[in-house]
Amino acid sequence: MVCGPVVRTQEQERLLAWVYLSRVLQGPCAPLSALVERVGVVEAARAVRECELPDSLRGPTEQRRGIDRAERDLELMDRLGGRVVTPDDPEWPAWRMVGLSQLDATRDPGAAAPLVLWARGPLSLLASSERALAVVGARCSTGYGEQVTAEITGDLAARGWTIVSGAAFGVDGTAHRAALACGAPTIAVLACGVDRSYPVAHARLLTQIAEVGLVISEYPPGVPARKHHFLARNRLIATLADGVLVVEAGLRSGARNTVKWARRLGRPALAVPGPITSASSVGCHRMIREGEALLVSRAEEIIDEAGPLQLSLPSDSAHTPGDALTGDEALVYAALPAVGSRQPVELAQHCDLPPAAVRAVLPALELAGLIASDHSGWFRTSGSSRGDGR
């Protein structure tokens, strides 16, 4: 029996291309992100395989461009009960990622959005990051630091905030546990594949998070944690939250790197002071003194500084919902039909915007209650009825 070639849908081809590129790059790469934006992910994957690349991409892709195990990676994630979230998915937190894509990559090579995010857990990445706080700090935390972390994190979690952290020892682990104890959502961002437990002693904690929250990484399954991965991981922790809270940090703490990313992304950076005699709080005191972080001591102060962005809606019923919108939001909303739905690519064609700009706008409009999505695409929710046409 002769079998013909496997016929894949366009959606399958794009998914395999995203997964292949994630395996090749294993981390942020601004030149590749720019190539994907310019020619599309399928064509970018072809160019990488065949080495038809500008000089800026030859080096980063040379070592692993011959490794194409995308189908096996997807099968492995399926066995783990996980998934790959790509910029094509409604779950992709585009409005969070747009900040990374607008940073100057020449200043910091890590200033790029992840190609994909590998995820384990039942939560939607988009929904769970709508109102979120990153909590980071010392790995060798003191009893004071753990108590403060548990109290503040517990208060925020009880008020519906998602807690984002890196699942490390000390403050990170305490923050995740406090959220879990409240039954609140928590997201662990790893510097290795989501099939690995790092640190190993937190295997049970990561299993608990994967059961009710989210464990995510931009690194494919099987990739071990490396030193530079943690610096790249820090930018994602800052990106996925409305602000970054530091509870205890030594003078050379990695938490300061996360604060740096928060400031570049326009997120508030907050720090809890400690005893002036404590070496574990020297980093917090220095960030407060030098204006890198605001001093906070309770959940209410954090909410005042890191409250979520909301689109203002018109109160006059004589106006249409879109009248309050400006810029790209107004263009995308206007491109949605009164009846029916459209895919992001169709919207980009109708409003003459890049696809990435459209994807960044859609979640913000959804948060404002103006639009929603299903298998057919995006549609208006206010003052319109659904239909089968587009």
DSSP per residue over 52-118, as a string?
A: ---HHHHHHHHTTTT---HHHHHHHHHHHTEEEE-TTSTTS-HHHHHHHHTS-TTT-TT-S--S-EE
Measured distance CA(185)–CA(21) in Å, rounded: 30
| Mean predicted confidence (pLDDT) in 278-289 | 95
Say yes or no to pLDDT of 354 above 50.
yes
Give the separation between CA 168 and CA 170, rounded to whole angstroms: 7
Specify the 3-state DSSP secondary structure of 270. strand
Q: What is the mean pLDDT of residues 345-360?
A: 84
Q: What is the pLDDT of residues 154-202, one digit of tens each?
A: 999 989 999 999 999 999 999 999 999 999 999 999 999 999 999 999 9
- The bridge status of strand 117-120 relative to strand 214-217 is antiparallel
Nearest to 216 by CA among 105, 296, 96: 96
User: Kind of pairing, strands 162-165 and 294-295?
Assistant: unpaired
pLDDT of residue 385: 38
List of E strands, 207-247: 214-217, 244-247
pLDDT at 320: 58
Q: How far apart are CA 379 and CA 287, in angstroms?
A: 45
Q: Computed from CA positions of residues 381, 382, 388, 390, in that sequence, does the dihedral angle turn out positive or negative?
A: negative
Report the SS3 class of residue 223. Answer: coil
Q: Of the ranges 173-182, 301-310, 368-377, 381-390, which is most confident?
A: 173-182
- Under the banding of pLDDT at 50, 70 and 90, the label for residue 340 is confident
Q: Is the pTM of this model over 0.95?
A: no
The rounded distance, in Å, linking the Cα atoms of 313 and 260 is: 33
Question: Is the distance from CB of 272 to CB of 103 less than 8 angstroms?
Answer: no
Q: How far apart are CA 168 and CA 152, in angstroms?
A: 18
The pLDDT of residue 219 is 97
Q: For 204-213, write each residue's pLDDT tens digit.
A: 999 999 999 9
pLDDT tens digit sequence for 300-326: 999 999 975 444 444 444 455 666 787
Distance CA(57)–CA(63), nearest Å, equals 11
Nearest to 332 by CA among 324, 340, 322: 322
Has residue 4 got a pLDDT over 60? no
Q: Residue 312: what pLDDT?
A: 41
Q: What is the pLDDT of residues 125-166, one digit of tens each?
A: 999 999 999 999 999 999 999 999 999 999 999 899 999 999
Report the pLDDT averaged over residues 109-119: 91
| pLDDT reported for residue 384 | 41
Mean pLDDT of 63-76: 93
Q: How far is CA 196 from CA 70, 102, 185, 224, 234, in A?
A: 18, 31, 21, 8, 18
What is the C-alpha separation between 121 and 81, in angstroms, rounded?
8
Banded pLDDT at 56 (limits 50, 70, 90): confident
